[in-house]
Every structure is written in structure tokens, then in C-alpha cells.
Copies of this chain bind each other. A is one copy, B any other.
């Protein structure tokens, strides 16, 4: 059911010819209310795409009535013409819906630096085609989830039921997954009745421990957007704690799906740092390991090369004594107190799900980063990118 699972939402996905590979590529998600409260978080990349610049302004007043999304072009570094394309996209959707363009978020994904008149014409025609296709049923939600995919191989959706309300989400993203969010477009809807500042707090809390901790390939996108729209159609105002917990679960589901569909990956690596002095230091250590190409290539080769883990840890400012660190891989402690421990050939790295557990013995804080291995296929897919 995805974004149409909560009451008060319609969605559509149509084929507008933007994606070279064909398939659905223009999507509308509409909040029919009664509320139009919303929150969103965006990429921290300073080279942001035009749709991000536009959407930041739209969500500033906490009100969003619709989202127009496209795959097949990021509309980033396309000059004034590209900025105008984003504005025209919002205006076209707004005209059909009888709302203000300033209440329409725009999200784009695909290649940077493209988007000419022909591309714009197809995109606007896609909005025209999507409007009459809008529906509140499961198929419409599924079409929307399909229409935002680029090199993704599977649809990414998740829902949770709260006490009288529902949360539904969809995501795309398979490469450029990194901190400050991934190339990642995520739309989450709910029929809970919450103010935009409550939505904003819940969304930031949820993304901080989910999407912000996926770091597949260390590359930060120009287009990342995670939007949360609340229709209030359930008439229920949930407890903040429960809502945030369920929202975090939806984000966690979607984040893991991003990891599991990462381009070319053959291992999903969960890097847990424990015994850290602070949570931030635990994040820093796990992230440093997730950024080590040597470590990631070793995991691809099923090689439990823990020296590369320690070499990455040593690049951080976290508090630790190098001679106190333990490293375990898939449950086998290969390094104890900075010295070799269990034989490395007792580690089985053949499963796709791989766990690296680092104990710094410097405190009580823990954090996890989700990453992937560095494979021939990753190199191949990204050396001949087209979307």
C-alpha cells in the first residue's frame, strides 16, 4: 500500500519517457487533508539540485499539499533553465490540483547536468498524465513507488499501524548512499493529525539513526529528500513517542532496503562500534571503517582482514587505546586488545549479511553504520552510468 496506505492520500506513477531504460518515471503524491502539515530533510550537499532549492522554500511554512517526483534526470547544474523547469513542474501540478505551486515539493533523480527543452516537455506532459491517474488504492501506491526508481532493482516500501493511524513510506536509492542522506528520495505519508513542528522533530529524530547511518559508498548526493506528509484524516493525534518509534521503524525498513539494493554489492555490512566514549565517536569510527576501500574490497573477497579495520579506526579522533581494541567479524573475535586472537580462517564471510563488531573499551556508547562491500560490479555499474 505504501504512501496510499494512510487515509487522505492519492498517488500515481506514469511513463513519460524520461528514463532511457523505460518504465514509470513521473510520480504525483497528493495530500487531500484535512491537514497539510509536513516536514522534510534534504541533502547537506552544498551543490544541491534545483528541486532541493525549490522544495526547501516550499516546506519552510510547514505546509505541503503535493509532491511531484521524477526519475530519469536530477535537474542539477542545469542553470536558470533547470530552475525554471522545477518551478514549471510545481505550477503544472498545482494547476491540475487547484492548489498553490508554493505547496508542491519537487524531487528529481538521475544524471546531473542534463535537462533540455525536450526533457522539460516530457516531464510536464508526465504531470499532465499523472493527474487523471491519481488514486488512493494499492496499485496507485505501487506505481508511485516504481516511478521513482533508477538503478534500483526492487521497489522499496514500508508501512506501520499505530493506535488508530497508519504510516506508509516509499524510497528509491541504490548508489551515492552516504551521510547527510543518500541519493535517496523518500516520501512518507500518515493520516495522523500532527503539527508540522511535531512532524519535523519526529522526522529528524528518525532520519538521524536510520538514513543518516547508511553509507554505502561514501558519496553524498545533490538531490536527497525525505518528505513526511500528514493528512490528519484518521482524526487521531498520536503520542509523540509512539509516532516517532513507528516512523523510525519505517525509516529503518527503507534504509535497510537501500543498503540491500546497493549497486553491485555482494555483502551488506553492519558495522557496530561499541564501548565508545560518545555516540558521535561511535558513529565516526563505524563510518571511517565504512569508508575504507581496502576493507570493503577485502570483504568482497571474503577476507577477514581486520588490520584494515584498525587502520581505518586509527584515522579518527575518537577516544581509544589502540592496544585495547577488540574486533569481531561474524561473531569471531579476530583481534583482542590489539593483538591477533581467533584464527582468521575461522571466520565465515560467505553470507551476504556481514557484521563487524568493534569494541573500543573507552565508554558505554554504541552506534551502527550500514555499508556494502566494494565489488567488480560496483565499479562496472558506475563506470558506465546511465539512468
Judging by beta carbons under 8 Å apart, are A297 and B383 in contact?
Answer: yes
Judging by beta carbons under 8 Å apart, are A314 and B218 in contact?
Answer: no
A159: CB under 8 A from chain B?
no
Contacts of A374 in B (CB 8 A): 293, 379, 382
A78: CB under 8 A from chain B?
yes
Of B221, B298, B315, B340, the contact of A77 (CB 8 Å cutoff): B340
Of B47, B180, B315, B320, the contact of A45 (CB 8 Å cutoff): B315
Task: Tell me which of A76, A303, A320, A383 has the highest count of chain B C-beta atoms within 10 A of its own C-beta.
Answer: A383
Q: CA of A219 to CA of B315 in the docked complex: distance in angstroms? A: 9
CB within 8 Å for A339 and B77 given contacts A306-B113, A314-B48, A385-B305: yes
Contacts of A339 in B (CB 8 A): 77-79
Of B111, B293, B322, B384, the contact of A47 (CB 8 Å cutoff): B322
Q: CA of A376 to CA of B323 in the docked complex: distance in angstroms? A: 35
Number of copies: 2
A17: CB under 8 A from chain B?
no
Interface size for A (C-beta < 8 A) is 62
Contacts of A175 in B (CB 8 A): 294
Judging by beta carbons under 8 Å apart, are B379 and A310 in contact?
Answer: no
Judging by beta carbons under 8 Å apart, are A47 and B310 in contact?
Answer: yes
Contact with B along A179-217 (1 / 0, CB 8 A): 010000000000000000000000000000000000001
How many Å from the CB of A182 to the closest CB on chain B?
12
Judging by beta carbons under 8 Å apart, are A383 and B307 in contact?
Answer: no
Contacts of A176 in B (CB 8 A): 294, 311
Judging by beta carbons under 8 Å apart, are B384 and A301 in contact?
Answer: yes
How many Å from the CB of A218 to the closest CB on chain B?
6
Q: CA of A259 to CA of B175 in the docked complex: distance in angstroms? A: 27
Contacts of A298 in B (CB 8 A): 382-383, 385
Of B77, B220, B378, the contact of A338 (CB 8 Å cutoff): B77
Judging by beta carbons under 8 Å apart, are A294 and B382 in contact?
Answer: yes
Judging by beta carbons under 8 Å apart, are A314 and B222 in contact?
Answer: yes
A96: CB under 8 A from chain B?
no
Contact with B along A278-289 (1 / 0, CB 8 A): 000000000000
Judging by beta carbons under 8 Å apart, are B77 and A310 in contact?
Answer: yes
Contacts of A293 in B (CB 8 A): 217-219, 293, 374, 378, 382
Judging by beta carbons under 8 Å apart, are A47 and B219 in contact?
Answer: no
Judging by beta carbons under 8 Å apart, are B113 and A220 in contact?
Answer: no
Q: CA of A46 to CA of B294 in the docked complex: distance in angstroms? A: 18
Judging by beta carbons under 8 Å apart, are B314 and A220 in contact?
Answer: yes
Judging by beta carbons under 8 Å apart, are A45 and B113 in contact?
Answer: no
Judging by beta carbons under 8 Å apart, are B222 and A292 in contact?
Answer: no
Further 4 A-B residue pairs, CB within 8 A, beyond A79-B338, A112-B311: A77-B307, A221-B311, A222-B311, A303-B383
What is A's interface to B at a CB cutoff of 8 Å?
Answer: 44-48, 74, 76-79, 111-114, 175-176, 180, 217-222, 291-294, 297-298, 300-301, 303, 305-308, 310-316, 320, 322-323, 325, 335, 337-340, 374-376, 378-380, 382-385
